[in-house]
């Protein structure tokens, strides 16, 4: 009698990053906006030949207003998304209570469209609905999952806090740099900060590093160049 060998399956140990989407998007957006908007503001004010004190006051005001605006904007925006998700789930809950069989057929048709034959699709739909009917429809019909669901408070805190951190970087540069070199130094260091942010975001999200860094640096350079031109123009007129 032959002995049956037991094959032990090893866990592949795959690491996915989709669970980071909610906070990562808000954090990158906040930090990027903090560096870019504050750096551009400081460069524009400095280009108008304002004093260091006026430049710092403008920067601090921009930091506070920007952080609050980002946090409030993220909260309102993501709350709207969360309200829509809850409304869809509530409607799905009612449909399951009123027509369970029709909902099972609808779920099965989704699996058929993904490549399963009708018999297997019906079996899968039946087993998943027996386990968690609402969860199955939320995931496969509505595209709502635990990892990707809207979290307003998390998004608001991540965006507001990272904006403040990002904005504080060019402000610090203003405090330690010679006044007559503020425009080139703030511009250059802000672009370096943006490139570093793009690199960190790419590493955290598993995206190509060079493309991410170049993309954020290009738009940062464009924004600061335009702001400096406006500041120089109005400073000359005044």
Domain assignment present for residue 64? The answer is yes
DSSP assignment string, 119-141:
HHHHHHHHHHHHHHHHHHHHHHT
Structural domain span for residue 233: 25-237
At 162-212, the pLDDT tens digits run 999 999 999 999 999 998 899 899 989 998 998 888 888 777 767 778 887
Select the more confidently predicted residue: 22 or 111. Answer: 111
Angle, vertex CA 121, rays to CA 116 and CA 123, nearest 5: 140
- The answer to whether 89 touches 142, Cβ cutoff 8 Å, is yes
Q: What is the pLDDT of residue 157?
A: 87
At 86-102, the pLDDT tens digits run 888 888 889 888 888 88
Q: Which residues contact 29 (CB under 8 A, 6 or more apart)?
A: 70, 74, 159
**The tokens of 137 are what?**
């429809």
Exposed, middle or buried: residue 44 (CB in 10 Å: 0-12, 13-18, 19+)?
buried
Domain assignment present for residue 12? The answer is no
State the Cα–Cα distance between residues 146 and 130, nearest whole angstrom. Answer: 19
Cβ count within 10 A of residue 59: 25
The structural domain count of the chain equals: 1
Mean pLDDT for all residues in the chain? 81
**The tokens of 69 are what?**
């605006």
Angle, vertex CA 122, rays to CA 116 and CA 127, nearest 5: 110
pTM for the whole structure:
0.68
pLDDT band at residue 3 using 50, 70 and 90 as cut-offs: very low
Domain assignment present for residue 228? The answer is yes
Domain assignment present for residue 51? The answer is yes
Over residues 145-151, the mean pLDDT reads 63
Domain assignment present for residue 189? The answer is yes
Domain assignment present for residue 13? The answer is no
Domain assignment present for residue 215? The answer is yes
- The answer to whether 95 touches 103, Cβ cutoff 8 Å, is yes
Residue spans of alpha helices (H) in the chain: 21-47, 52-98, 100-113, 118-140, 152-176, 182-205, 209-237
Q: What is the pLDDT of residue 215?
A: 84
State the Cα–Cα distance between residues 172 and 48, nearest whole angstrom. Answer: 20
Domain assignment present for residue 1? The answer is no
């Amino acid at each position: 009698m032959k002995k049956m060998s037991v094959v032990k399956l090893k866990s592949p140990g795959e690491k996915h990053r989709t669970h980071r989407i909610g906070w990562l998007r808000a954090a990158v957006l906040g930090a990027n906006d903090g560096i870019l908007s504050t750096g551009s503001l400081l460069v524009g004010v400095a280009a108008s030949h304002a004093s260091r004190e006026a430049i710092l006051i403008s920067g601090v005001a921009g930091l506070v207003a920007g952080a609050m605006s980002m946090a409030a904007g993220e909260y309102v925006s993501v709350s709207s998304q969360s309200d829509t998700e809850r409304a869809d789930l509530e409607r799905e809950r009612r449909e399951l209570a009123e027509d369970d069989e029709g909902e099972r057929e609808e779920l099965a048709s989704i699996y058929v469209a993904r490549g399963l034959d009708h018999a297997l699709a019906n079996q899968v739909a039946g087993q998943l609905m027996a386990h968690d009917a609402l969860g199955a429809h939320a995931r496969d019909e509505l595209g709502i999952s635990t990892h990707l669901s809207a979290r307003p408070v998390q998004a608001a805190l991540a965006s507001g806090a990272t904006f403040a951190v990002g904005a504080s970087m060019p402000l610090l540069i203003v405090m330690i740099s010679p006044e007559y070199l503020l425009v080139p130094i703030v511009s250059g260091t802000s672009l370096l900060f943006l490139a570093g942010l793009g690199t960190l975001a790419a590493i955290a999200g598993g995206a190509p590093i060079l493309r991410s860094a170049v993309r954020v640096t290009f738009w940062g350079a464009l924004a600061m160049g335009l702001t400096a031109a406006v500041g120089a123009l109005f400073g000359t007129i005044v």
